[in-house]
Amino acid sequence: VRLVGSEMCIRDSKIYFYNEKTGEYIGERVAQRNPRGTVGGADEFLMPRYATKICPPVAGTHETAVFDGTGWRLEPDYRGCVYWDKITRERREIAALGSEPESTWTDMEPLDAAAVWSGNGWEVPLEELRRRKIDEIRACADAAADQLKRSYSQAEFETWARQEAGARALRADMDDAGPDAEFVRSMAVVRGVPVAVMVEKILAAVARAVVPGAKIVGMQQRLEDLALAAASADELAEIVWLEIDF
C-alpha cells in the first residue's frame, strides 16, 4: 500500500466516485451545482454517496486508487493476472484487490507437463528429453518395419521363419522330412513349381529382406547411441531418423 496524502488536491468543480465495497476509484464527473443557490456567496455543489471532492492520485501499473473515508491510497491491483507456481506448476489467478504475486510465482506458463523451473524459465530435464528421443527413434524403426511388412501378406510374414528354416533344410538335404521341409513341399505343390525352385525362391526373398531389415536395426541402434551420448537438448534435437530405401 502506498499512501499519497501529499498528492491530494481539491477541485470544487469535480467529484470522484469510489466503489461502495472496495473503495476503489471508479470515475469522475463535473459536480452539479446545488439548485437552491450558493453558500456565503460561493457555489455549492451536490455531493452524492460514495463520492469525494478529493482527487485521486495517478495509479501506476498494477495499482488502483482506494478511498478509505478520509483520503486516497494506492493498492496493488493484480486482479485477473494469472501466474504459475515455480515448484508445483499450479495455476494461480489473483482475484482480490491488494493481493500481490508471490516470489515463487511466474507469469510464464509451463507448456510441458514435465518442465521444471530453471531460474530463468521452464525447461524439460535432459533425461526426459533423452527418453522421448529414444521413444521417437523406436517409433520410427517400428514404422519402417511396418512399411517393409507391407511388401508381404500377413500369412507370408507369419510363416517367414518357417519358410526359411524349411528351405535351408531342403537345400542341405532334399530328402529332409522335418515339419518345416514338409511345409515348403506343400507350398511348392500348391504353387505348381518344383521343390528345388521353391527353395531358391524362398531363400532369394530372405536375402532381399535381410538388407532393409539390417538397415532399420542399424539405423535405430546408431541413433540410440547418439541419443545416449547427447549432452544437451540441442544435440538431441539434431538427431533425426533418415528415410530408408527398401
Prediction pTM value: 0.65
Closest of 165, 155, 147, 175 to residue 206, by C-alpha? 165
Q: Helix, strand, coil proportions of the chain in percent (round to 5)?
A: 40, 20, 40
Q: Assign 11 a pLDDT band (cuts: 50, 70, 90).
A: very low
Q: Assign 68 a pLDDT band (cuts: 50, 70, 90).
A: very high
CB contact burial 10-19 (16+ within 10 A = b; e otherwise): eeeeebbbbe
Q: What is d(CA 83, CA 67) in angstroms, rounded to the nearest whole number? A: 28
Strand (E) or helix (H) holding 67: strand 63-67
Residue of higher predicted confidence among 33 and 124: 124
Phi-psi sector, 50: left (phi>0), alpha (psi -120 to 50), beta:
left
Q: What is the mean pLDDT of residues 48-73?
A: 95
Amino acid 7: pLDDT: 41
133-183 per-position pLDDT tens digit:
999 999 999 999 888 888 778 888 789 899 999 999 999 999 999 999 999
Amino acid 148: pLDDT: 82
Residue of higher predicted confidence among 9 and 64: 64
Q: What is d(CA 85, CA 110) in angstroms, rounded to the nearest whole number? A: 10
Q: What DSSP character marks residue 24?
A: B
Q: Which residues pair with 38 in a beta bridge?
A: 43
Q: Which residues contact 24 (CB under 8 A, 6 or more apart)?
A: 18, 64, 65, 66, 67, 75, 77, 97
Q: Assign 43 a pLDDT band (cuts: 50, 70, 90).
A: low
118-133 per-position pLDDT tens digit:
999 999 999 999 999 9
Amino acid 2: pLDDT: 45
Start-end of H helices in the chain = 126-149, 154-158, 160-172, 179-191, 195-229, 233-237
